[in-house]
Structure 1
Amino acid sequence: MDGVPRVPEQRSPEQSATLRFGVLGPVRAWRGEEPLATGSPQQRALLAALLLREGRTATAAELIDALWGEEPPSQALAAVRTYASRLRKVLDAGVLVSESGGYAVRGLGEGALDLAVAQEWAARAEKARTAGDLCRAREVLGRALALWDGEALAGVPGPYAEAQRVRLEEWRLQLLETRLDMDLEQGCHAEAVSELTALTAAHPLRERLRELLMLALYRSGRQAEALAVYADTRRLLADELGVDPRPELRELQQRILRADPALAEPSSPAAEPAAAPVRPAQLPATVPDFTGRSSFVTELGEVLSSAEGRVMAVSAVAGIGGVGKTTLAVHVAHRARAAFPDGQLYVDLQGTGPRAAEPETVLGSFLRALGTPDAAVPESLEDRAALYRSVLDGRRVLVLLDNARDAAQVRPLLPGTEGCAALVTSRVRMVDLAGAHLVDLDVMSPEEALQLFTRIVGEERVASEREAALDVVAACGFLPLAIRIAASRLAA
């Protein structure tokens, strides 16, 4: 049937009625060759969210957030249940299961999801390229790219779908760049020029595409046009972003000007040139009216600054809810950013919620933030943790693990190399976290509490009603969160 992505393997007659799903385009489902009705856009958004979780359970709250974000309708939970009930009637029995107040898609056959097939082809292509078999690598990578049928998750609403669309488009472009790089390695310069010209027009700020276009033009005997691409890139980056082209692009321009003989012939099969290391900057914004805690700020700052001479510095900040653990940790992390020039990672581990974040999920997110392609992210927790420590080797990165459930959740997320540091917040005192520098955070002193209250409400108002202000902060139990809420309401 036209427009149906094909899993690139021959199917036996016994497999003809198996379920297949597509997300690399509109969200669609088939039983064998028969298309299935996936319902309204919101219903397709629910199906997409479950398919992309690869069998893991999504709670009702997570699905509501995925479909509507911060402003769900009043009947959001009922709507989710209705969508799930309708999908269950369309799909095979036992595919969409209810579990722990949430839902999951289970029991799919191998190759049932086009994204999983594309990931498998991309991994095979990388192996073939590493082995020096460029012909095989190009063929297999072409199969992966052929599975896209327009924009991924096309027409699917909700913040989760939008984030996944961006992720999948970025991955598609990375695969395209890799395939085009292999085209040039095999001498297909003229053929690559037209495709690269169209791609650079569609993605004008993507420097790797422009670098490949310059090389393809030069090898096609079009030196002046190759230099014109560089001039256009430099002008565009300056106008749009106020930056210069990356060093690789500048070096290529100089080599073209010198007519470097090494540029005239394709390079021998080799791994794709390594991109500049990704420097994540994931810290949440610090509050502008941070108050007090000066001894803790100094103490934690000193521990983090000592990371250079130790395997790692772990500061576990413990305290009751609302005492200001996250605010303190984020403030300290921002002050220490200069000591960690290779980036800062952040995650809310949701340790106090009904479903704490799984370490393997967090590691997958961290690895991608550090520049690891999706296809290179391993499946198991142990392999992801090992790759994570390897990626951090030689870098100076600060990891802020907020709202941890326990030490077991934290251990796989700790960097293991000299120069990195981790800052952990939790309601429990992590005495079983080996080598941790423990900080017990209590409520604010009356003076600090009143100072925070004054910064939010205003000095003039507090000065005229000092006793009343003291009563308010005392009624808040000297907890920063409660004080901030009460003061903000008064200020408003």
Structure 2
Amino acid sequence: MQGLSAEGRSCGAGPGADPGGNPGGGSGRGRRCSTGNRDDRPDTAYHDGLSVRSSKEHALELHFTTLGPLKAWRAGRELRINRARDRAVLAVLLAGAGRPVPVGEIIDGVWGEEGDEAPDRAASLPGNVYRLRSVLDGRGAGILRHVGKGYRLDVDPQGIDRTVFLAALAEAATARRNWQPERARTLLSEALDLWRGPALDGVPGPFAEHERRLLAGRREEARRSLLELDRELGPLPGPLPGPLPGLVPGSGPGSGPGAGPGAGPHPEPGPEVVTWAPGAARAGARPVRRPFQLPTDLADFTGRVEQLATLAALLTGPRRPPAALVTVCGPPGSGKSALAVHAAHAAAPGYPDGQLYADLHGRPGEDPAEVPGILAAFLRALGVEEQAVPPGPADRAGLYHRLLADRRVLVLLDGATAVDRIRPLLPAAPACAALVTLPGDGPAPGEHTVRLGRMTAREARELLGRVLGRERLEREPAAARELAAACDHLPRALRDAADRLVRRPAWPISALLSSPGA
């Protein structure tokens, strides 16, 4: 992970570190140092668990910590910003680092809807900027400039822990999609170690409050993803009732009692495991893994109670069909992917041998060459070494189905164009199930289908309230209903509209209705 480095973060060294190696409220995982021991780096000055190069060419380099109390640093020394409003202005400028931030956006983010103070706050802003410039531009570097009708903070975004954190989460998500779980786990662990407490702790204003909520949600998502990866990569291979064709017995840790997804990442050693024979001679076969690949669930998933109940019955109910194939169909923007991911997370305890996931959006669905590539990725996720993946599509499908035999695995295929084109990916084992999202209303005959359309008016308002906050919605109930109707009660449009309002905390809901292009 580039930008703010993590040298010594997991070693329990530096200000604010606790005895367990958790510097001031990071992830608390006590992982290894990412780039070496700080005792071997005498030319590096440290602050708050983050390293700053102190060589001459970087003497004026600025770093900012926002995942905790807002602080500014130059060459390892803290720059004192004493006034809370000054820190609130800095928080808005850091979020827009490198671009001009309009004066109105700063005022809205710092003072919000304090209408009776509008003349005072407009007159106060130049004073806030002057004090910040005095601190940050100590040597006349021109870091904070007046540009047009706004201000621009010219600092490297990689020197802001917020930027580094969010970039690491995006990089980890890409790594997971590319079936690189080890890299994803490293990125998430280092990203969580950047935290030192509540984001922008003690900073006033609606922008800071919004950032605290947003970043706290992303932090929780990262924690859940890291736990899933620990389950996937940790010693969790499970026993099979007997050798399968093409498999040979091996030794290693087993599942042990209660080693399902809720049992924690480090179960007790258990019985024998199996590995695939052809790769053993070339690459040293690994135990069959339990993959946990589901994307992060939405913390504010709303509504769809009836559809969720149907999916639960089909996937985990007492009358669930063997080798269940369940499809979710609906128009674009109806929330098919979100519903499928939410239902898969709810059903996961019923599939303790793992969950496989493939995002098929944007893939040429009519090209059958895509399926062998996904099969190869699934085989690697199940523990087959790269060199041991069969070259032919038929052999890959055969091994895939042998590995799933007598196991309980849920396969989520999101964004398929037609069921017939993904048949090789659908498990045939009776204890397994597949959940597939499809466009429109055209599932193949005989499949169990859940159809999605518009949300109800009540669900749409509830979704707006969960994203915007109840207080904001209750101030303008009529505008909220009008906005929901303008979005046709479709979840994607509702979220897009709510996100735009969240980024403009001083805007009333009615302002978005009158300014759709804003």
TM-score scaled by length of structure 2: 0.43
* Larger proportion of helix: 1
TM-score scaled by length of structure 1: 0.45
